[in-house]
Structure formats: C-alpha cells, structure tokens
Amino acid sequence: SLMGIGAGADKSGGDCQLRTYELALACTGEYAQFHGGTKPLVLAEYNVAMTRVNGIYEREVGVTMQMVPNTDELIFLDAATDPYSNNNGGAMLQQNQTTCDNIIGNNNYDIGHVFSTGGGGIANLYAVCNGNFKARGVTGLGSPIGDPFYVDYVAHEMGHQFGGNHTQNNNCNRNGPTAMEPGSASTIMGYAGICPPNVQNNSDDYFHAISLDEIQTFIQGGANGCPDHTATGNTAPVVTIASSSYNVPVSTPIMLTAEGTDPDGDPLTYNWDEMDNEVATMPPVSTNTGGPAFRSLTPTPSPTRYLPNINAIINGTTPTWEVLPSVTRTMNWRCTVRDNAPGAGCTGNADLTLNFSATAGPFLVTQPN
C-alpha cells in the first residue's frame, strides 16, 4: 500500500512583480541581410522575436525586455564593415560588450545580445545588470527565424544571462547540479535535438522547475537592482500535496496529484518535474539508482500526472523517456503551478519524494486488458 508522510509544503516561486529590463539588441550584417537588408525590416523581425521571447519570460518569471530607444544604431547592414565575427560566437561575446557600451552607453541598458547567422549560441551566466558582462550574449543560426531560433536559442541564451544553467543529463556541456532532465532534455535550458540521445528535436516553450528556481533567485538578487519594478497586484497560487513522501513498490505505475488555488482566480496550469541530477544511463533504464527517469511534460490544466503516461499504463508499454525503477531508489518531484496571469505570471510549487522499494511489487493490472 502507499504510505504518506506529512504534507508537501507550498512555496511561492517569485514575488509576482513585473521586472522590465532595458535590452540592447544588436545584429551582424549577415543577419540583417537574411531579414531583408534594411533597418525597418530588421526592427520588424526584432519585434517578432522579442514578442515571442517576452511572452515566455513574462508568463514564467515575470520578466520583460524593452528594446532601448536607439536600437537602430545597433543594426549593422554590411557584413564587411560590422564589428562582429559572424561565425565565431566566442569572439562575439566581447565584441558585443564593446559595441553596446560604445553606442548605447553602459549605463543605458541592462542586458545586451547580438543576433547572427553563425556561431551557435553562447552567453555569460549571471550577466544581467553586471556592468562588465551584461552584453555578453550571442545567438546565431543559419535560419534565424521561428521557434527553433526564438525558443531553442534566443530564450535559452538569454536564460543563461538570467542565471539559468543547462538541464540535460546527457554529457554535452552538462551542469551537474541542474542535470535534472533525461537525455538532451525538452525544456528551454536543455539541448533538445542536438545532444543524442534526444528526447525530441526542439524545446518546449517553458522552463524546467530547476531553471525557474535559478532565474527567480537571480532576478530577486543580483539582477534586482537595475530593472524597473511594477506592482501587478497578482498573488502567487497556493499548491497543496497531501504528503511529502510516499513509499512505492518498484515497477508499479503511480499517480501524482496536487491541489492548486489562486486568490485572483487565474487559470492555473500544472506540471510535475523530476528533480534528480545524478549521472545516469540514457535513455533511462529501470535499474538506474539515481538521475532522471521521467521527462518533463508541458503544463496542463490537470493537477495529475501518471507515471508513466496513462496510455502506456493501459497498453502495458514502457515509454523511452518515462521509466519506472525496478530497483530500490528515491525519486524527488516538484509540482509547479503557474497562474498564467496576463503580463506577469507567478508560480507556486511543492515537493514530494517517492521511495521505491524492491522488497515490494510490482503491483500489476493483468485483467481486463
């Protein structure tokens, strides 16, 4: 039988303020030519890109980025004369810091970034509000347009600037403390599609719980001094889990559920993220004694997650990225509840532990099938 111990404690994921950061957004001549070769056309594409990125950041962490008034001066149309090495992301880090400081002025922006068509993505951690590093962010892709650029690259690299580390457990630029997603991960701060074995080809447009924790900590700490703060009147949702710890038989499907309430009546969505970071065989195997065994799933209005998904349970199959343990181990989980408030969302969360025991189970449904 399941045994619960205590109640899962609710925590607010942020202070529910809207933080507005001044963004110095530059581009290489190659990027400008891709988007039509004129400043109005590039500015129009900037607006498309940042509308998408800001929509994510506003919902997830209550952050928006506002382009500085003289952004057009950072748009370079000629690849032969611009100050950037389009295909060398590492070189562009300091090139962009120098360019933004010279043209915009170091005191006149909070975060700087440069778009290119080569060189991939690279950025300094904790760069926002940091005078010597705040423009050290680069995003380059051969086709710099659409969600594969805006979500997988721009939101990801800016996520580093806002204090977010990689979340993939695979050994490609792995960051041990935050390696909480199996394979190459599927959320913004992972390496979806580019670090086999891959969960999927592109990132989903939200942050894993560990990324929310990192970014919210930074914007309330080191990156709290430079943005404009706007009181939203929004209140964080409250999350309740019946118990903080359950004892579970191995290889036995289980249902995780929480209860969320919101003082403002906002439309809540839920997701359950596994919070285990040990190095583990990927794709996960049932004999792993640590590390993530379950992928992150997009937030939904349902407070319940089945391990594995309900279709797999019914059909008696084992999904590649949702694997129940067949050995004694502990799994840590966090339920994040988003209120999806327009303009500046807020989150609440609660944690629970699953203690899988090889001395019991599996409990299986054999009839009817």
What angle, rounded to 10 degrees, do the helices at 39-61 and 209-219 form?
A: 100
Q: Is the pLDDT confidence value at 61 over 80?
A: yes
Rounded-to-integer distance, Cα 43 and Cα 223, Å: 27
Cα separation, 226 vs 73, in Å, equals 22
In this structure, the number of other CB atoms found within 10 A of the CB of residue 247 comes to 15
CA distance 75 to 53: 19
Q: What is the pLDDT of residues 100-153, one digit of tens each?
A: 999 999 999 999 999 999 989 999 999 999 999 999 999 999 999 999 999 999
The pTM of the whole model exceeds 0.85: yes
pLDDT at 287: 98
* CB neighbourhood size of 138 (10 A): 28
* Residue pLDDT, tens place only, 269-315: 999 999 999 999 999 999 999 999 999 999 999 999 999 999 999 99
pLDDT class for 362, splitting at 50, 70, 90?
confident
Cα radius of gyration (the chain): 22
Please identify which residue in the block is written with the tokens 């997650």.
305
Report residue 343's pLDDT band, with 50, 70 and 90 as the boundaries: confident
Better-predicted residue by pLDDT, 210 or 5: 210
State the average pLDDT for the chain: 95
- The whole-number average pLDDT for the span 239-246 is 95
3-state secondary structure 114-164: EEECCCCEEECCCCCCCCCCCCCEEEECCCCCCHHHHHHHHHHHHHHHCCC
Decide: 357 and 326 in contact? Cβ < 8 Å. no
H/E run at residue 146: none
What's the pLDDT score for residue 1? 27
- Which CATH fold would you assign to the domain 18-219? Collagenase (Catalytic Domain) (3.40.390)
Binning pLDDT at 50, 70 and 90, where does residue 6 land?
very low
CATH 2.60.40.10 fits 3-13+235-357, yes or no: yes
Helix, strand and coil content of the chain, in percent to the nearest 5, comes to 25, 25, 50
Domain boundaries, given as residue ranges, for the chain: 3-13+235-357, 18-219
Q: What is the pLDDT of residues 165-191, one digit of tens each?
A: 999 999 999 999 999 999 999 999 999
